[in-house]
Amino acid sequence: MKGALGVLALPLAFVLPLAVLSGGGDSAAPKPGGGGDVSGVPTEYQAVLKRAGSICPEVTAPALAAQIEAESNWDPAATSPAGAQGIAQFMPGTWASAGKDGDGDGRADISNPQDAIYSQGAYMCSLVEGVKKLQASGSVSGEVLDLALAAYNAGLGAVQSAGGIPQNGETPAYVERIKAAMANYVQAPGGAGGPGVAGASAGGLEDSSPVPGTFAPEAMSLPDPTPGAHGTALITPRMSTLITDVMSNYPQIVQPALYCWDAHPYNSASDHPQGRACDIPFYSCAADPQRSADPSTGTAAGNAAANWMAANAGYYGIHYIIWRGQEWDASTGVWVPYDGAGGLYDTTDCSGGHYDHIHVSVF
């Protein structure tokens, strides 16, 4: 049975064109049940909700699940009189620009729940960035998630015009319904909630499931797109896909310290010379607590990015991730203490222990 509000027929945000400029984070802490942890959802949507809820820290899997409940009550064939379609109730015009391939089959299909849910997470994160811009300019006030949900329902322009949540009757009820329902989807401590759901690990890093299958070797054939690229350096297509999405999802790290290919003469086993690795400049060193606390590039932001990559490892073909003295490997899906590449690096050092950057390697 649908809730009291029923299926909301028209998320007006889907009618209006949206141009969201990229920018840094704000000081708001991630909401409870953050990242991809989720429970109480249909099994077939658990994995994609985990990925969609790991795109940005403000938009969690429980928030997306509660939003789907309000939009379609989990009906992938839902339609509205205005023409909204699918489990996330996208308007076709918005889908044309916001739709993404969520299951890796090469198509972005509005009627495919895997695509729609992943696109919902990405679109909500774009609204978060738009809201942050409005907050920075003093145009709106309120909690970021509340305002992003209001923008999903009424449009970012309506949120700007109202200086916050539009008081039109429907939108405040929409936001409150979703906020109230989020608790129903928060995973219980200890990892309960079904297969493939992450459990708590070291200091904000989340274990995940092992990555099944194998990935064919790739040659270096595409330019390193990072600001720190060395001349005409090349990387593999798999690495290019991942780092391009990382730069899109985390624009604050697009700076000269971000690079992929490197000769790495001091480590003959490194993936950097093979174009299969990148170093991403987040910071969590004890030497500079203020920098580590930066909400955009500090510890919490780095944890969110590392968890997002681990959650999406199967999609991108990620082999391992190193961050804050911990290493995640695709074969186990578990974070363990980093051994410094067999003792080559001092893991107590800011750089050697990877406290000043995330290292990610692909197959």
C-beta separation of 165 from 143 below 8 A = no
- pLDDT cut 90: percent of the chain above it: 60
C-beta separation of 234 from 228 below 8 A = no
- pLDDT of the residue at 296: 86
Query: Has residue 270 been placed in a domain?
Result: yes
H or E element, residue 277: strand 277-280
Structure tokens at 348: 């107590």
Query: Has residue 6 been placed in a domain?
Result: no
- pLDDT of the residue at 206: 87
Structure tokens at 135: 């907050």
Q: Are residues 30 and 148 in the same domain?
A: yes
Rounded Cα gap, residues 88 and 84, in angstroms? 9
Q: Are residues 26 and 164 in the same domain?
A: yes
Query: 329 has which bridge partners?
Result: 320
C-alpha to C-alpha distances, 347 to 12, 59, 262, nearest whole angstrom: 51, 33, 21
Q: Are residues 249 and 171 in the same domain?
A: no
- pLDDT of the residue at 36: 57
Q: Are residues 46 and 175 in the same domain?
A: yes
Query: Has residue 261 been placed in a domain?
Result: yes
Query: Has residue 113 been placed in a domain?
Result: yes
Q: Are residues 112 and 219 in the same domain?
A: no
Q: In terms of Cα–Cα distance, which of 258, 263, 236, 257 is closest to 247? A: 258
Average pLDDT, the chain: 84
Query: Has residue 194 been placed in a domain?
Result: no
Last residue of a domain, one of 185, 220, 237: 185
- pLDDT of the residue at 37: 65
**What's the pLDDT tens digit per position in 285-315?**
989 989 999 888 999 889 989 988 998 898 8
- Structurally, the chain folds into a number of domains equal to 2
Q: Are residues 214 and 356 in the same domain?
A: yes
Q: Are residues 173 and 310 in the same domain?
A: no
Structure tokens at 67: 């939003």
235 Cβ partners below 8 Å, 6+ apart?
220, 222, 223, 224, 243, 260, 261, 275, 276, 278
Q: Are residues 321 and 235 in the same domain?
A: yes
- pLDDT of the residue at 134: 96
Residue 1 or 199, more confident: 199
**What's the pLDDT tens digit per position in 228-281?**
999 999 999 999 999 998 998 888 999 999 999 999 888 889 999 999 999 999
Annotated catalytic residues are 71
- pLDDT of the residue at 187: 57
CATH number at residue 131: 1.10.530.10
- pLDDT cut 70: percent of the chain above it: 85
Q: Are residues 173 and 214 in the same domain?
A: no
**What's the pLDDT tens digit per position in 148-187?**
999 999 999 999 999 999 999 999 999 999 988 887 887 5
What average pLDDT score do residues 102-108 get?
A: 90
What average pLDDT score do residues 203-213 get?
A: 83
C-beta separation of 276 from 362 below 8 A = yes
DSSP-derived secondary structure letter, 216: -
211 Cβ partners below 8 Å, 6+ apart?
313, 314, 318, 330, 331, 333
Give the pLDDT band (50/70/90) at residue 4. very low
Q: Which domain holds residue 268?
A: 206-362
Query: Has residue 153 been placed in a domain?
Result: yes
Give the pLDDT band (50/70/90) at residue 79. very high
Alpha helices in 20-138 (DSSP H): 43-52, 61-72, 92-98, 113-136
